[in-house]
Amino acid sequence: MPRFTDPAPEPKLRADAFKLTREEAQRVRTATRKVAAARGGFIALSVALGVSTSAVYHAANPKRRPSLAFAVRLAAVAGVPVEVILSGKLAVAPVVIGVAA
């Protein structure tokens, strides 16, 4: 006797509201590289963000799309609103140690 089962449920996907557009993703990748350069590299940035180094490399990779959560963390570390990161208007000055202002 054949058994009939329910069809497999469709996989749950992230809501579209939490996905970055291509332009926003490119801006987050650029901001990631800028903030990493100002912070002393990808490892220092990963420590400041509280994520693994591979997550930072993943976010900077042009073949990948960073998450909105990463953009929010990056904005917090950079000390700017997330809108600045997503708009591409981030200007970061490198930290200079031992020089009087």
Task: Phi first, then psi: give them for residue 30, nearest 5 degrees.
Answer: -65, -45
**19 versus 7: which is more confidently predicted?**
19
List pLDDT tens digits, range 83-97: 999 998 887 766 666
Tokens of 22: 């291509």
Tokens of 99: 């020089």
This prediction's pTM: 0.75
List pLDDT tens digits, range 41-76: 999 999 999 999 999 999 999 999 999 999 999 999
